[in-house]
Amino acid sequence: MKRTPSSASRPIRILVIDDSVEQARRLTEIFQQARIPVTVEAVTNGVDAINRVQGWGRYTASCPPDVALIDLDLPGLDGLAVLSVIKADRHAGIISVAYAHALQRSQRDACEAMGADACLSKPHDFESYITLLAEILFFLSMRDDSVLAWWGGGVKPGVERRRRPR
């Protein structure tokens, strides 16, 4: 997902897929405090998440998100089902960060097998949200150097920056 010069100035589109509305509010606040230009949209269930990503129903005019934050413990259609749709060929460019309150090894393995960009324990305090923000910016910066300008040119601590072939 290479952002063009015209899109580089637009906010990063983040889709929060979580049955907790509070989670989306916290994430929006963290991005605003970090002065990261984002648009955060939230859906509270797996069906709405798939409709949003696919652009179906009431979401037909929506642009696809740049990043999807996926709660694995959604009621009904769970986060793994949503992740499988997001990582299908048509949407493979969407950065996917999956998370769960008590992340199990089996969930992590399933996320990795489906191609999730990151699989984390659900943030529970401010520092954890900052770590999540760093993870997202790290993955965005690997796809587009203009993100580094927002991030101050840094790399995720302890991780060597890898370049994806263009």
pLDDT in tens, 144-154: 655 545 444 44
pLDDT-derived band at 65, boundaries 50, 70, 90: very high
- pLDDT, residue 9, reads 66
- pLDDT, residue 143, reads 67
Phi-psi map region of 163: left, alpha, beta (phi>0 left; psi -120 to 50 alpha):
beta
pTM for the model stands at 0.77
pLDDT-derived band at 118, boundaries 50, 70, 90: confident
Angle at 83 between CA 80 and CA 89, to 5 degrees: 140
**In the chain, pLDDT over 90 holds for what percent of residues?**
37
Q: How confident is the model over 17-30, as a mean pLDDT?
A: 84
pLDDT value at 42 more than 60: yes
Q: Which residues of 87-109 are buried (b: 16+ CB within 10 A; e: fewer)?
A: beeeeeebbbbbbbeebeeebbe
Q: How confident is the model over 65-70, as a mean pLDDT?
A: 92
Identify the residue with better confidence: 80 or 138: 80
Of 79, 142, 145, 76, whose CA–CA distance to 116 is shortest? 79
Please state, as a whole number, how many other Cβ atoms lie within 10 Å of the Cβ of residue 152.
7
| CATH code that applies to domain 10-151 | 3.40.50.2300
Distance, in Å, from the CA atom of 157 to the CA atom of 20, rounded to the nearest integer, reads 29
* Helix, strand, or coil (residue 40): strand
Give the CA radius of gyration of the chain.
15
